[in-house]
Structure 1
């Protein structure tokens, strides 16, 4: 680099994660996706993307730009793990009681109270009394709204306590109702003196006859359905017409980090799905926009079709899938480079001023780097930082880029493992079976390596037996199946997470999930695939070679 600003001395263009990125605010790139989310009249409210795509950065910048108009709700402050780990919740789930009405009511309650606390600065008994008196005076001529206020009165001095305490209080009251109903249920226990509360909390629904299960399910479902809370729904009208009644009071609610570890994944998915339904209901509040950020794989596993009341199409139409193109990523890097280099006293306007000049043999160095990413900000920031760290001269050389690629590729492979290890434990051992392969692999060679992956089931130390057994079951149980029948599930997984690409002829371009997201969903496409390749991001880490030559 001619100016020397980026040379050595730990120069970088920012952190890979929003919460540890010193340049996030100064060099934030306002993409079209950000402008869509920040648009108060745009209805997209679910921000869906893979890890590293910039979801958290978008929400942090939105908060910075609208500091007086943003309420952030942190899932870890809501005792959600407490709810999903309750014995009564698991028991009702085993009885196939739909907990959706309870979960939807919980979310509406949390959102409503947080919005009121923010709007009126309710942080004490006096503030709450003043707020209620003011609101009561405003709506005194509307009997329906006056009844809705009774809902808030129920919480009395606990109105301003932290959200997790309110959630626990509502949940505990619900648990009491269920246990009380259980005690009065004929045939619930052979011992009339038994402690029904303990039975509910720690028992298993499998111990009951079919008839008893049905009876219990119906009884408990009625209790759950009562938590629809008519007065709570009426409060939404008050929220729209009397609390956030003017554009001046427009409020964003931001909910992020819903992809943290959960105790019970099934109940957690129900909680997240019910949040989406609550958000849908709250769209009737004109001066409110709730934005929920979620990883792509969790969004796809929410099972909308099963219990969403036929609203799956609405959920999907309101989802904004964050995607980046090469131009946007180049501009993002340039913006960060300008800010970072200016801080060092030697401004640089473009990454092109630092990288090797374009030539006919090797092409554009930045395009080379982009091809070794999954087209996400985190990837290109990481590769650029590694390249600066590898610099040996005043300007980046191709040798510096290749040196950086080794370290970068290993870290990206570990990041891919970390992104998917909750759903697919030990998936990195499947990645490892492709170490040293020559690309493109023929179907025969690819099949041999997939067979090696399937044999991991014989290793007692392999922790992914459940998912791998399910994905390879047709290999063992369907001898008459086609190649796609046998290998389709595992191939689709590797394709959909961006690990492999597919081609259908020697001259055909390689298809990757970013540009052909539905490709691996069709058996005919898999059957027609003649070449399989490892994504360039991971080739260096796995010592992948091209056409038998050194990579």
Structure 2
């Protein structure tokens, strides 16, 4: 082991949030080959898929750095609040009108305008007028391209303005279509005249659906199709440059949940249309749990998961890549203040092993192979050593830091998955004081009764899939319990809390490096469960050889 170096208050592995580390990433970005795949126009990969803290934002930031013709679209800049405040949009939603085609048209509009802006450097009204003159001179009156010219004349005057205007343009156009159609006279909510009847609601829905169908199927769509064709056959054809649009932060609170899901589905559908434009690429970062919501929690006709699989690039990390990341981070921190000599991450530790592992190997074994977890664990160790006035990290310091780090992993799981599983913290309680591995068969039906009673009374039970299943229940309690246990195991696996061994001759499976989900058919009473070491400290996991125990923690003979 290299000689230890002295820690001080300025040493850090970073923040763990790539959004705050743009400068640091210039010197400590670990290239796993993903950027080249995403940058390549020959590769279909354009959806960066991964869990929280796996490096999606870091890759987006790196792509901004290494591409010459790129622009980032921030969801917060899209004036989605304007859609949310629209009383007409709200009434359409309340009536059950499918607005997905409108939002798909909107996203295509955003993408087309931003690509044309990027291609022709449209930053002023004069630059837009010059492009319009070029189009008129190139395409004769009466040709099919006249639709594209009409598109430019309708929207072009605002091309130079910021992206948030695009959403307002489409929303205002739809609102105008409704206002010009002659709305059905119905009682307003809260008015003296009373509530809307079912018949009136049906009439209003049919009225709005007719407007939406007209809006997206006539002149406006013809114009958009024509400008897409010109982008394909003229603007971006035979270009010696590539143009990129990058979208991150789709997991943030940029829209109410239901509206955001519909907008994201529409975005993915628009992405497939715009992919036809050569020498361009739209790259988005999407969290695993959000993808699951889109395809499984709120299904939509024609929106099929397998249609997008070829576009997905699922991020994963190896142990050596994480070691490299740790070395780069610690080296950058020391180089900034002290020395140009290379410093390795293992030099901040005193000379010891823990569970027959080096300190860094031990720390990595406590992550779910996510860079953010490595960074946070390292920082917790460094912080603990400073508090204890130590020059480096000792074995006792690491063990104490692990307790703090592990307790935050449960909160991190909740933060990542609570929209899908609002009661996930209650699930995790089932794993407390259990051995590090045990068989599914040890989840005895009678030992889950207390859990089910607690869940039935949980304030969020009706919004939670396990809670709803327990409340609805089956007349055959044994069958119901087995289903609940199986569902819990699938959730624990999917969220990275446990790994599974489905056959004796097969290795352990973990969602972050193998299949992200496991099917019912793969789970039987002999399936082996492995609690992830990241949770050992907070769960009080028994790290001795696995015992034959039931869910209540009592040893079985």
Alpha carbons of structure 1 residues 416 and 70: separation in structure 2 relative to 1, 3 Å: same
The residue that corresponds to 1:345 in the other structure is 338
For 2:221 and 2:247, how far apart are their aligned partners in 1? 23
Whether the aligned pair in 2 keeps the contact of 1:99 and 1:224 (CA below 8 Å) is no
Say whether the 8 Å CA contact 2:48–2:312 is kept in structure 1: yes
Quick check: 312-321 or 208-217, which moved more? 208-217
Q: 1:313 aligns with which of 306, 314, 319?
A: 306
Paired residue for 1:274, among 258, 266, 270? 266
| Cross-structure match for 1:24 | 25
1:407 equivalent to 2:398? Answer no
Does the 8 Å CA contact 2:380/2:401 hold for their aligned counterparts? yes
Q: Alpha-carbon deviations, 1:464-518, whole Å to 9, x = none?
A: 4421422434645543626542322233222211123345699996543234436
Q: Which runs of 5+ in 2 are unaligned?
A: 547-557
Q: How far is 1:76 from its partner?
A: 1.1
Distance change (3 Å), C-alpha of 1:431 and 1:178: same
| Aligned 1:439-478 pairs, distance under 5 A | 439-440=436-437, 443-444=441-442, 450-459=448-457, 462-467=459-464, 468-473=466-471, 475-478=473-476
Question: Which one of the candidate residues 229, 237, 240 is aligned to 1:237?
Answer: 229
Write the distance in 2 (CA, Å) between the matches of 1:448 and 1:532: 19
Cα–Cα, structure 1 residues 425 and 205, in superposed 2: closer, same or farther, change >3 Å? farther
Deviation at residue 356 of structure 1 after TM alignment: 6.0
Q: Give the C-alpha shift of residue 229 in structure 1.
A: 0.7
Shift of 1:211: 6.8
Q: Could you tell me which residue of structure 1 aligns to residue 110 of structure 2?
A: 110
Whole-Å separation in 2 of the counterparts to 1:352 and 1:500: 28
Aligned residue in 1 for 2:38: 37
TM-score by length of 1: 0.85
1:327 aligns to what?
320
1:366 corresponding residue in structure 2: 360
Counterparts in 2 of 1:479 and 1:447: CA distance versus 1, 3 Å: closer
The question of whether the paired residues in 2 share the 8 Å contact of 1:472 and 1:490 is answered with: no
1:520 maps to which residue? 518
1:386 corresponds to 2:380: yes
Q: What SS class does the counterpart of residue 385 from structure 1 fall into?
A: helix
Question: CA 1:215–1:343 in structure 2 vs 1: closer, same or farther (change >3 Å)?
Answer: closer
Corresponding residue of 2:83: 83
Alignment of 1:94-109 (within 5 A): 95-109=95-109
C-alpha deviations, 1:82-141, integer Å up to 9, x for none? Answer: 325644334434555432221111011111112222333333332322232234334458
Which residue in 2 is equivalent to 1:479?
A: 477
Q: Counterparts of 1:25 and 1:368 in 2: how far apart (Å)?
A: 28
> Alignment RMSD, CA only?
3.6
Does the 8 Å CA contact 1:6/1:388 hold for their aligned counterparts?
no
Is the counterpart of residue 53 in structure 1 residue 54 in structure 2?
yes
Change (3 A) 1:271 1:360: closer
Equivalent residue of 1:424, what SS?
coil
- Bigger shift: residues 283-292 or 498-507: 498-507
- CA distance 1:173–1:11, change in 2 (3 Å): same
> 2:555 — aligned with what?
none
1:410-421 counterparts in 2 under 5 A?
410-421=407-418
Distance in 2 between residues matched to 1:28 and 1:60, nearest whole Å: 10
> How many residues in Structure 1 have an aligned counterpart in Structure 2?
535
How much does 1:367 deviate?
Answer: 2.5
Q: Distance in 2 between matches of 1:474 and 1:491?
A: 20
SS of corresponding position for 1:24: helix
Tell me if 1:536 matches 2:533: yes
Name the CA distance, whole Å, in 1 between partners of 2:160 and 2:517.
Answer: 51
Contact 1:433/1:452, CA 8 A, preserved across alignment: no
Alpha-carbon separation, structure 2, partners of 1:504 and 1:244: 50
Please give the secondary structure, in 2, of the residue aligned with 1:303. Answer: helix
470-479 or 441-450, which deviates more: 441-450
Q: Are the structure 2 counterparts of residues 206 and 110 from structure 1 closer, same or farther at C-alpha, using a change threshold of 3 Å?
A: farther
TM-score with structure 2 setting the length: 0.84
